[in-house]
Chains A and B, each alone.
Chain A
Amino acid sequence: MPVNIIAMVSTETATSTGLKTEDLVINMGPQHPSTHGVLRLKLVLHGEVIKQCEPVIGYLHRGMEWLGQNRNFVQYQALVDRVDYLAGMSDSHAYVGAVEQIAGIEVPQRAEYLRILMAELNRICSHQLSLGIFMLDLGAMMGFPFYAFRDRESILSLLEEVSGQRMMFNYIRIGGVQQDLPKGWLAKAEALVKDKLLGYVDEYEDIITNNPIFTSRTKGIGIIEPNSARAFGLTGPNIRASGVDYDIRTAKPYSRYKEFDFKVITREEGDIFARYKCRVEEIRESCKIVLQAIEKIRALPSGEQAAKETELVAKKIMPGFKAPAGETYFAVESPRGELGLHLITDGTAVPYRIKWRSPSFFATNFLPEMAIGQPIADIVAIFSSLDVILPDVDR
């Protein structure tokens, strides 16, 4: 795969007038609008070309692992959504999945479908936001970002109806989900996906995909070479846009993803445009999964009697819940890639060790590999296309 690298020249170059040029050190961030949080990049420039790039992270470090190790399993549930605040459902799913795997808890069918339904809705709005801010970073100040934010809000209000919160849901709990759906929610969700979301995606494509300004800034730029990216642990749409068919939903199916029919979107080019296109297509696939999940939930028995006879949603887990001593790793496909949790327990009510394997951490580690040799104007586009979210990096 050809890599777009501008030839680097020596530190000091003599020009025809006898003047010498020097390297310039630029501090990008931490308070930079296009760093998606608080990231600092130390850049060494030769002219307009980046010679060195060093990400400095930790500005949003909240000690999520320490907090987990000093709270019991039930208390920590409420904090987990903050790891990656754009995909709280995926975070909860990873944490809860790990605890259930150690404790051997079986989750009711209805709760599994509800989890998948919520996680996919969450994925759609995460991708919409990433599209919006991506265009913002490319300079589309007015117009497009508002489309994405408008559409995202319609999903968030649905999720709020279910869980009581816009973003920090705390909906997926150990053993199931917090509560059943409100009356008429399924019809609302179905109408939203069928009548609006799919149309919205076409709208995005009409605005962006053939836009000559957009394509000239994205095609052939920031190419990810699949092998080196995999060695760096890059996952999610970033690696799928380079032709690697790796999606945990199909590679190591968790929950009940085996029963769903969807495509893993891959593209061969590996440039910024391919990553954008991958995300847009993934929104469509997620819509498909949401509709299937709605159908499956409708087919299950419902009503008060059924709820009494079989636990449709979940068995209540008490705060004194103790997981047996053990160790596990549970990974889910978050909108940004492989989000996993390594959990070690010692038989008490408090986790012994929690380790988050967050996809953005690995993507930020990979950033210098992409940035070096590129013009400074492209670094914002490249970084934005990785869809890194800084709370996920710093935890």
Chain B
Amino acid sequence: MADLPIKPGDDKLAMFFAKKKAIAEGKDPEQAAKEAYAKFHGKPLEEAKAEVKTEIKAEANASVEAAPVVEEPPKPPKTPEAKEFFDAANFKVEELGKDSSGTLMYEVSVEDIIQICKDLKAQRKFNLLNYMTAVELKKGYQNILRLESSKHDEAVVLKVTLAKDKPVMPTLTEVFASANWQEREAYDMLGIVFEGHPKLTRILNPDNWDGFPLRKDYIGPLDGLNQPIKYGVK
């Protein structure tokens, strides 16, 4: 909606004083206020109000007379950008198909992950790390990264499997700013070590917490306070 041409403050003050003066002099206060307004703005009050009304009407008409929606013919399916990249590049990757939301998933090796992320960011449009998480599988710990394009029209999921006895992978903080806390969370919950991380400490659990809670073999403290449980002691 268009702003009223009446600014708060000065013109209202002028009208107020004009009214006061008119009452003291025995004239019509409303008329005096209108005159004061016209003197202040260079046009009478009715005209200003009428302008606003026509503007509003014009706006309303415009919204009513919106163009009918024309259905575009379906475009031919385009090769996803991630597939193009992995087909062209010379990395050892395994295509895992699509997840239920229709995003392509790829299994990549630990050695290549930094280079792949850098290339996807620089050469292709995947320049945002939407989130990162980790999961424990039978074959090891798996780090899951979801990269998105800056227009959010395409995404790709990268998976890195790490050995159970040595879950170590290089940090992505230099490539993606949002990786910092995500990696700390993955460390806190599943004990994945990110080499080169600026501050790899626990983030959600207390610093002195034992174990990594989202591992499948984790047994939590029964009292919830990270204290050893003493049986038979009063």
The interface stretch among B17-25, B74-82, B83-91, B199-207 is: B199-207
B111-150 residues at the A interface, CB under 8 angstroms: 127-131, 133, 135, 144, 146, 150
For residue B213, CB closer than 8 A to chain A, the reply is: yes
Q: How many Å from the CB of A334 to the closest CB on chain B? A: 15
Question: With A231-B176, A355-B131 known to touch, is A329 a contact of B103 (CB < 8 Å)?
Answer: yes
Please determine whether B135 and A57 come into contact, CB atoms closer than 8 angstroms.
no
Question: With A58-B205, A327-B99, A329-B101 known to touch, is A66 a contact of B8 (CB < 8 Å)?
Answer: no
| Residues of B in contact, count (CB < 8 Å) | 32
B-chain residues with CB within 8 Å of residue A232 when the two chains form the complex: 177-178
For residue B180, CB closer than 8 A to chain A, the reply is: yes
B-chain residues with CB within 8 Å of residue A340 when the two chains form the complex: 130-131
Dominant secondary structure at the A interface: mixed
A-chain residues with CB within 8 Å of residue B131 when the two chains form the complex: 233, 340, 342, 355, 357
B-chain residues with CB within 8 Å of residue A344 when the two chains form the complex: 135
Question: With A352-B135, A357-B130 known to touch, is A342 a contact of B152 (CB < 8 Å)?
Answer: no
Question: With A58-B203, A61-B205, A246-B152 known to touch, is A233 a contact of B99 (CB < 8 Å)?
Answer: no
For residue A394, CB closer than 8 A to chain B, the reply is: yes
For residue B104, CB closer than 8 A to chain A, the reply is: no
Question: With A230-B150, A340-B131 known to touch, is A329 a contact of B99 (CB < 8 Å)?
Answer: yes
Please determine whether A66 and B214 come into contact, CB atoms closer than 8 angstroms.
yes
Contact of B214 among A65, A101, A361 (CB under 8 A): A65
B-chain residues with CB within 8 Å of residue A326 when the two chains form the complex: 99-100
Please determine whether A251 and B152 come into contact, CB atoms closer than 8 angstroms.
yes
Please determine whether A361 and B177 come into contact, CB atoms closer than 8 angstroms.
no
Question: With A233-B178, A342-B133, A365-B178 known to touch, is A102 a contact of B150 (CB < 8 Å)?
Answer: no
For residue A219, CB closer than 8 A to chain B, the reply is: no
A-chain residues with CB within 8 Å of residue B213 when the two chains form the complex: 63, 66
Q: How many Å from the CB of A11 to the closest CB on chain B? A: 21
A-chain residues with CB within 8 Å of residue B205 when the two chains form the complex: 58, 61
Q: How far is the CA of A360 from the CA of B107 in the complex (A)?
A: 29
Given contacts A329-B99, A364-B181, 10 further A-B contacts (CB under 8 A): A231-B127, A232-B177, A251-B152, A326-B99, A326-B100, A352-B135, A357-B130, A357-B131, A362-B181, A394-B204
